[in-house]
Amino acid sequence: MTTLRGMTWNHVRGFAPLEAAAAKFGERHPGMDIRWDRRSLKDFGDYPVHLLAREYDIIMIDHPHVGICSEQHVLVPLDRYVPEDYLREQEANTVGPSHRSYHWAGHQWALAADAAAQVAAYRADLLPERDVPRSWKEVSELAETLPPGRKIGWPLCPTDAMCSFLTLCAGIGGASFFDEAEGVSPQIGEAAIRQMLKLLPLLHEASLESNPIQMYDRMASHDDIVYVPLAFGYSNYARAGFADRLLRFTDIPGMDGEPRGSLLGGVGIAVSALSAHIPLAVEFAMFVTSGDVQRTLYAEQGGQPGHAAAWRDEAVNRKCGGFFADTMRTLELSYMRPRNRAFPAFQEQGGILLHEALRASLGGEAVHPDDVIDRMNASYRSMQSH
């Protein structure tokens, strides 16, 4: 028996489609097994990939890690194993910049198994579609006019506060708001923080402690959160039978009439350079990201496919309330984070600094956005020198 070990993340979207795909792939390779371990949502974004590469053959990664991984030589450059026509097909069917996000220094370090960005969510039974905000001005108006017992929610735990901050920056200033030598543009960063501070007193009290899963769980089990302007999308919550109440997903509020700048997320499937089974692991990566598997088995098992064939498929959309069709514009206009070696650590530290500022503001302390940005950028510059 040949056993490969895979590492994914601990949500049904993260493990169920991979386990099902591994079982199907095993039918082609009798005597082969892939065993999947799971890490937390936070560890998925923060845990060093080079440590995982020592233990696992297949690793699900977040794209900002590809820069440091390429320097450490811990992942297989997939373009040396995957046929060119397959890579061209993947690029032609990418959802937003998902496929490109794993390309760095001339090599493809992962294939886009899963596509995501921050989107908006609402309870259609509590908020009619016609009243769903399309601009940040309308978000504020909605928050100020909701009846007693109804609130806007916004996942603002440190990790997701930083993600929303980056989305707002990209919406205000475009991708150029981040200078890879200096950090965040002070003018744009301060405007983004002011937007967050403006809405903060009107938000549901669970917001500062929630990640998207926790927020959606609350939203689907209680009636006090009617709308979320920014959070990574999970099509599972739009599928009948997954949670108590269905959620609907739509484009994020726009600064200029378009849902521009949403932070790109998603998951890439990568192969450890230390694996003893590289060809077999690469073959599985190609299998699980192929259009036919993504549109059928992967989507059916609660996955959020990275292949556009699934996002455009009518049957796939029927099963999840139009999630893919209704958020695809946001994905197409999404913002891809820097992938240099300093950025993952900066994102984690920046989230801590921002969360401290939000908490202080909610507690009645004066918060100066320029000071927060100065501290963020000082942190970024120090990480570049390490």
Does residue 184 surpass a pLDDT of 90? yes
42-51, 97-106, 140-149, 237-246: range with lowest mean pLDDT: 42-51
Q: What is the pLDDT of residue 177?
A: 97
Distance CA 172, CA 178 (A): 12
Distance CA 189, CA 137 (A): 18
Q: Where are the beta strands (DSSP E) in 130-266?
A: 151-152, 178-179, 183-184, 225-232, 248-250
Q: What is the pLDDT of residue 46?
A: 67
Question: To which residue do tokens 């929630």 refer?
Answer: 210
* CB atoms near residue 264 (< 10 Å): 27
Mean pLDDT for the chain overall: 96
Q: What is the pLDDT of residue 44?
A: 66
Asked if 265 contacts 62 with a C-beta cutoff of 8 angstroms, the reply is: yes
Q: At what angle do helices 186-199 and 343-362 cross, to 10 degrees?
A: 40
What stretch of H or E contains 58? strand 58-61
Question: For 34, how many CA atoms within 13 A lie in the half-sphere containing its CB?
Answer: 33
Does residue 95 surpass a pLDDT of 90? yes
Of 8, 114, 172, 102, the closest CA to residue 339 belongs to: 102
Domains and CATH numbers, the chain: 2-116+264-322 (3.40.190.10), 118-263+342-384 (3.40.190.10)
Distance CA 209, CA 293 (A): 36
Distance CA 168, CA 165 (A): 5
Instruction: Give percent of the chain with pLDDT exceeding 90.
Output: 94
- Model-level pTM? 0.95
The mean pLDDT value for 8-29 works out to: 95
Over residues 20-78, the pLDDT tens digits come to 999 999 999 999 999 999 987 677 666 788 899 999 999 999 999 999 999 999 999 99
Q: What is the pLDDT of residue 223?
A: 97
Does residue 384 surpass a pLDDT of 90? no
Over residues 304-316, the pLDDT tens digits come to 999 999 999 999 9
Question: To which residue do tokens 């949502």 refer?
Answer: 41
Of 198, 242, 216, 199, the closest CA to residue 121 belongs to: 216
Of 242, 267, 262, the closest CA to residue 250 belongs to: 262
Q: What is the pLDDT of residue 256?
A: 82
The mean pLDDT value for 96-106 works out to: 97
Over residues 246-300, the pLDDT tens digits come to 999 999 999 888 999 999 999 999 999 999 999 999 999 999 999 999 999 999 9
Asked if 130 contacts 122 with a C-beta cutoff of 8 angstroms, the reply is: no
Q: What is the pLDDT of residue 40?
A: 79
Task: Give the total residue count for the chain.
Answer: 386
Over residues 317-362, the pLDDT tens digits come to 999 999 999 999 999 999 999 999 899 999 999 999 999 999 999 9
Does residue 374 surpass a pLDDT of 80? yes
Does residue 102 surpass a pLDDT of 90? yes
Distance CA 189, CA 376 (A): 10
Q: Are strands 183-184 and 178-179 parallel, antiparallel or unpaired?
A: antiparallel
What stretch of H or E contains 33? strand 32-39
Q: Which residues of 184-221 are buried (b: 16+ CB within 10 A; e: fewer)?
A: bbeebbbbbbebbbebbebbbebbbebbbbbbbebbbe
Does residue 112 surpass a pLDDT of 80? yes
Q: What is the pLDDT of residue 45?
A: 62
Q: Give CA separation, 371 vs 164, 178, 193, 374, in Å.
A: 19, 17, 11, 5
